[in-house]
Structure 1
Amino acid sequence: MTNLNNANLAGELDVDVAIIGAGPAGLTAGYLLTKQGKSVAIIEKDETYVGGISRTVEHEGYRFDIGGHRFFSKSQQVVDLWNEILPDDFIQRPRMSRIYYEGKFYSYPLRAFEALGNLGIWRSTACMVSYLRYKLFPIAEVKSFEDWTTNQFGHKLYSIFFKTYTEKVWGMPCDEMSSDWAAQRIKGLSLWSAVIDGLKRSMGLNKIPNDGQAAKTLLETFRYPRLGPGMMWDAARDKVIAAGGTVIMGHGLEQLASDGENGWRMTATAKDGRKIVVKAKDTISSAPMRELAARLHPLPDTTWNASKLKYRDFLTVALKIRSEDLFPDNWIYIHDDKVQVGRVQNFRSWSPEMVPDEGVACVGLEYFCFENDGLWSSSDDDLIALATEEMEILGLCDPKDVIGGAVVRQEKAYPVYDEDYSANVEAMRDELEEKHPTLHLVGRNGMHRYNNQDHAMMTAMLTTENIIAGERIYDTWCVNEDAEYHEAGNEGAEKAIPARETSDEAAGPAISADQAAALNSLMPVPERIKPKDDRKVA
């Protein structure tokens, strides 16, 4: 049982599978592989925390969720794994998120009557005229986020409720962002559906909870680890170690060299220069695709493509404020351009146990930035002062009540969907799959796809199945970036993927009809697969 954290470590490890990154994807793979009797070694460059962006940071007894993580999945297999790893520490929490714009709160997703009422008669009329104009005469060639969202909602509503926030998040104009982003993240929202919903509400006809069959809406409650999402991944790490796996903290990938038929030779380095070499038949990488390509030996032909991939970083400024509570929301989206903050989280609304003092509220102001730009490079004291000032501008607290703060920086939080990202990812993927069938890409940054936590886990689950089978029986790229982003329907509603079914020894493993059906619940419609019909299923 080995947890090599700041240990005097040298030499070589020889394992079945090397794993780069101890986030949700990497730890899921490590846990499932050790259950199958495989030896694994996981390297993680953070010296303290596992979980990646799903970690929980602690400061003076206060705990911060980096980005906000609701534990909801339509995949029963994911739900079962969460319950297996953390069986006794989930709590049920009310779900509430709103949009803040020009001093008023708007429900999220938008409720048409409420939104139009808050905007006033003239702007409401302009919004509806704009909506009808683009429904009658839509933009024919949809290339960008702006094009897609304008067609869906009209240019006026787009400019009010999508443009400012989206450009804060991504640091680029909406007309330069791929329309893929909008199609994946807000694909189920419709202004017309919101109007119909508002009419039903006004007549008392829409009191039945959403069953996932109607227009998308958000869950009213969700499950959450009582001490934050990092609790899940701390437990997963401990289970990997208990099963004989190795977790090497504070070591980043220096080089991943192909060793021909013998597999891989991975060199990881600590800040003080200590190195460890891990030899493995298979390697799983959740490292950012751009970084992996630069550290592969020999360098892939598509290194240039990968070097063009971009990432958006962000930082959380957590403020402790003398108040029992400030607002009931889990978080608030800030669409106001008078401030730089993009979202404000209320950590007590995630879990009361994350905030130890009953008379103190703890909120996290999230700023989206690029690594080493002005915001990222600002001192913690300056960032705390900025956050305090912006809370006053928004009217959310009195600066005199702020009694302390902390800053958490998160690099490469979001893979950027610019106009070239898809072609660059596809080129890298094709080359690696052809030349290196024992190198497996998983997770958000490993695949440069905006996966939620459960989808990142599913890519690791299917990769584990592929490694056990000795071939790629599952196409992990078919896992949808966000099959149900707005969390509609019931948790675990989709059938779990059954245990692998095998044919005779010559034919090897096959994908059954049931497996294909279960996979399809996680895939976008154009990419849905069929069971392999060229193999006999036992």
Structure 2
Amino acid sequence: MVIIGAGPAGLTASYELGKLSQSHSAIVLEESGHVGGIARTETYKGFRFDIGGHRFFTKVKEVEELWHTVCQDDFLLRPRLSRIFYRGKFYDYPLRALNALRNVGVYETVRIILSYLKWQVRPHRVEENFEQWVMNRFGGRLFQHFFRSYTEKVWGIPCAEIRADWAEQRIKSLSLKEAALSTLTGKSNSTSLIEEFHYPRLGPGMMWEKFRDRVRAFGHEVRMNNRVVRIVHGDAKVEAVEVLHETEAGFSTYMLEADHFISSMPISDLVRAMDPPPPLAVRKAAKHLKYRDFLIVVLILDHPDPFADNWIYVHSPEQRVGRIQNFRAWSPDLVPDPAKASIGMEYFCNAGSELWDMADADLIALAGQELAQLGLAREGSVVDGTVIRQPRAYPVYDRDYSQALATIRDWIGGFENLQVIGRNGMHRYNNQDHSMLTAMLAVRNIMGEQHDLWEVNVERSYHEEFEVSHKHPKAALAAE
């Protein structure tokens, strides 16, 4: 088997194959020099940092057990503390009644409640976009306060151009009622409102490095700096991939044949790599799939942690930063010097934009200024820093994506031995556990089961049935 990509999805697929079958082998091809994809851990002068903020929390019991099995005692249970900065004030997140009331005032609180009631009585009849979806559940006032500015900062497009699918994907279980109950009871079933989570001691990359070692122990290969540049197919089957291998001596290419192929590479790249090329409609569809890029500026401060939060969401449009991480709050072992702090300033942008192309020194200066503007550190406290740019971090759910993805999905579905998994492999903004679940089910399909990977993350019941479905797949699918 050939597995394209050594992120959470690709490595899980290799692990699952090794666990289920000793007669099958896998070769994992990773184009970069590290495993974990966007869930990797970067290092700078002994400081470790998580480039996207990866909580390990799931309702899928089998995924949770796998995390504990692989990471063992290095899997820490960490408290969650996060806030929202908006209009010069900090709001607890999840929103807490007294804190929110004190910040917005009695008058605005009444307006928020009345707005919520209004949209409960007269909701949008059709929920095509993110704005309509949120208003129907939270009301117009809360949408204006706590959803519009941050969402548009993250995606760079108006909320009315973001499909409702994205809300279904990311905040399906969250409602105003759920938030209120969480405030009163301290308990919640929503992943957006959890109060603690697990986290690898040395960052998320530690998990995927351990996965890499486990799959190699199964006898599988994980080849780094090996990029798939061509996928040869015929008669509804993929026959081989052409791989570009980078070494210190230069570049070389080779062909690799297999009976089964699992891909977590961006699905638009997969379409472009197909030989012979797909039909014109499929190629055009691939051009319509867009991504949002991301960079993180890590600031080293000359004093200990300036705030206790894991992260802070910056809704205010006056600052360009979208989210701020305090890495010691994730794990003390990420920061080697107790007299210093390591702060991650996350900026959402597009490759080739003014922000993306800004020199590292200027980005570090900008991030330091904005940290001081927010009152989170004093001016002049930044003593060092580094910048990491992550292209294609988030699949965009714009007006064109759904039809384009459906066209590609239908065409790929015609291949007997090719499956796509993971975030970019399926152009789906999912979490690590969802990527892992698609990988597990893809391998089980090869073992003879029948799972529709495109239904994963769509219906929560699929998660609830997972432990049954791998034993009785037909019954579980019928329940869908």
Fold conserved (TM > 0.5)?
yes
- Secondary structure of 1:404's match? strand
In the alignment, the residues of structure 2 paired with residue 353 and residue 461 of structure 1 have an alpha-carbon distance, to the nearest angstrom, of 31
Pair 1:457-2:419 in alignment: no
Question: 1:136 offset after TM fit, Å?
Answer: 2.6
Look up the match of 1:233.
208
Question: 1:142 offset after TM fit, Å?
Answer: 2.4
Aligned residues of 1:318 and 1:362 also touching (Cα < 8 A):
yes
In the alignment, the residues of structure 2 paired with residue 290 and residue 262 of structure 1 have an alpha-carbon distance, to the nearest angstrom, of 19
> Following superposition of structure 1 onto structure 2, how do residues 493-508 of structure 1 map, counting pairs within 5 Å?
497=467, 501=471
> Following superposition of structure 1 onto structure 2, how do residues 295-444 of structure 1 map, counting pairs within 5 Å?
295-301=273-279, 302-434=282-414, 436-444=415-423
Indicate how the Cα distance of structure 1 residues 137 and 481 shifts in structure 2: closer, same or farther if over 3 A, else same.
closer
User: 1:386-420 CA distances to partner (integer Å, 9 max, x unpaired)?
Assistant: 10011011111112111111111111111101122
Look up the match of 1:21.
5
Query: Percent identity at matched positions?
Result: 46
Look up the match of 1:174.
159
> Following superposition of structure 1 onto structure 2, how do residues 149-168 of structure 1 map, counting pairs within 5 Å?
149-168=134-153
User: 1:483-512 CA distances to partner (integer Å, 9 max, x unpaired)?
Assistant: 59xxxxxxxx957625955xxxxxxxx625
Pair 1:511-2:473 in alignment: yes
Look up the match of 1:480.
457
User: 1:97-138 CA distances to partner (integer Å, 9 max, x unpaired)?
Assistant: 111112222122223443233012443343333333322322
TM-score (norm 2): 0.92
In the alignment, the residues of structure 1 paired with residue 198 and residue 137 of structure 2 have an alpha-carbon distance, to the nearest angstrom, of 32
> Following superposition of structure 1 onto structure 2, how do residues 32-431 of structure 1 map, counting pairs within 5 Å?
32-35=16-19, 36-37=21-22, 38-47=24-33, 49-195=34-180, 201=184, 206=185, 209-210=186-187, 212=189, 218-260=193-235, 263-270=238-245, 272-301=250-279, 302-431=282-411
Q: Which runs of 4+ in 1 moved over 6 A?
A: none
Indicate how the Cα distance of structure 1 residues 294 and 261 shifts in structure 2: closer, same or farther if over 3 A, else same.
closer
AA matched with 2:36: G
Aligned residues of 2:4 and 2:28 also touching (Cα < 8 A):
yes
In the alignment, the residues of structure 1 paired with residue 259 and residue 334 of structure 2 have an alpha-carbon distance, to the nearest angstrom, of 41
Aligned residues of 1:455 and 1:481 also touching (Cα < 8 A):
no
Pair 1:447-2:426 in alignment: yes
- Secondary structure of 1:99's match? strand
AA matched with 1:458: L
- The unaligned stretches of length 5 or more in structure 1 are 1-16, 485-492, 502-509, 517-528, 533-538
AA matched with 1:31: Y
User: 1:321-370 CA distances to partner (integer Å, 9 max, x unpaired)?
Assistant: 12221111111111111101100011001000000000111110110111
Aligned residues of 1:112 and 1:194 also touching (Cα < 8 A):
no
Question: 1:442 offset after TM fit, Å?
Answer: 0.2
In the alignment, the residues of structure 2 paired with residue 495 and residue 125 of structure 1 have an alpha-carbon distance, to the nearest angstrom, of 42
Indicate how the Cα distance of structure 1 residues 45 and 148 shifts in structure 2: closer, same or farther if over 3 A, else same.
same
Indicate how the Cα distance of structure 1 residues 193 and 433 shifts in structure 2: closer, same or farther if over 3 A, else same.
closer
Judge which range, 100-109 or 446-455, deviates more: 100-109
User: 1:496-535 CA distances to partner (integer Å, 9 max, x unpaired)?
Assistant: 625955xxxxxxxx6254xx2xxxxxxxxxxxx3169xxx
User: 1:417-444 CA distances to partner (integer Å, 9 max, x unpaired)?
Assistant: 112212211121111112x121110001
Judge which range, 344-353 or 319-328, deviates more: 319-328
Judge which range, 235-244 or 186-195, deviates more: 186-195
Aligned residues of 1:56 and 1:64 also touching (Cα < 8 A):
yes
In the alignment, the residues of structure 2 paired with residue 262 and residue 155 of structure 1 have an alpha-carbon distance, to the nearest angstrom, of 50
In the alignment, the residues of structure 2 paired with residue 142 and residue 261 of structure 1 have an alpha-carbon distance, to the nearest angstrom, of 37
Indicate how the Cα distance of structure 1 residues 256 and 184 shifts in structure 2: closer, same or farther if over 3 A, else same.
same
Look up the match of 1:530.
478
User: 1:296-341 CA distances to partner (integer Å, 9 max, x unpaired)?
Assistant: 1122221211221011110111101122211111111111111011
Question: 1:188 offset after TM fit, Å?
Answer: 2.9
AA matched with 1:67: G
Question: 1:482 offset after TM fit, Å?
Answer: 8.6
AA matched with 1:176: E
In the alignment, the residues of structure 1 paired with residue 8 and residue 318 of structure 2 have an alpha-carbon distance, to the nearest angstrom, of 36
AA matched with 1:278: L
AA matched with 2:453: T
Look up the match of 1:519.
none
TM-score (norm 1): 0.83
Question: 1:291 offset after TM fit, Å?
Answer: 0.7
- Secondary structure of 1:87's match? helix
Indicate how the Cα distance of structure 1 residues 481 and 104 shifts in structure 2: closer, same or farther if over 3 A, else same.
farther
In the alignment, the residues of structure 2 paired with residue 340 and residue 310 of structure 1 have an alpha-carbon distance, to the nearest angstrom, of 21
In the alignment, the residues of structure 2 paired with residue 119 and residue 500 of structure 1 have an alpha-carbon distance, to the nearest angstrom, of 49
- Secondary structure of 1:84's match? helix
Question: 1:251 offset after TM fit, Å?
Answer: 2.2
Question: 1:264 offset after TM fit, Å?
Answer: 2.1
460, 466, 472: which one pairs with 2:445? 466
Indicate how the Cα distance of structure 1 residues 211 and 161 shifts in structure 2: closer, same or farther if over 3 A, else same.
closer
In the alignment, the residues of structure 2 paired with residue 142 and residue 260 of structure 1 have an alpha-carbon distance, to the nearest angstrom, of 41
Judge which range, 130-139 or 246-255, deviates more: 130-139
How well do the aligned residues superpose, as a CA RMSD in angstroms?
2.3
- Secondary structure of 2:102's match? helix
In the alignment, the residues of structure 2 paired with residue 112 and residue 136 of structure 1 have an alpha-carbon distance, to the nearest angstrom, of 23
Indicate how the Cα distance of structure 1 residues 187 and 240 shifts in structure 2: closer, same or farther if over 3 A, else same.
closer
Question: 1:191 offset after TM fit, Å?
Answer: 2.9
User: 1:429-465 CA distances to partner (integer Å, 9 max, x unpaired)?
Assistant: 111112x121110001101111110010000000011
- Secondary structure of 2:380's match? helix
In the alignment, the residues of structure 2 paired with residue 322 and residue 274 of structure 1 have an alpha-carbon distance, to the nearest angstrom, of 46
Aligned residues of 1:76 and 1:495 also touching (Cα < 8 A):
no
In the alignment, the residues of structure 1 paired with residue 406 and residue 237 of structure 2 have an alpha-carbon distance, to the nearest angstrom, of 27
Indicate how the Cα distance of structure 1 residues 211 and 298 shifts in structure 2: closer, same or farther if over 3 A, else same.
same
AA matched with 1:439: L
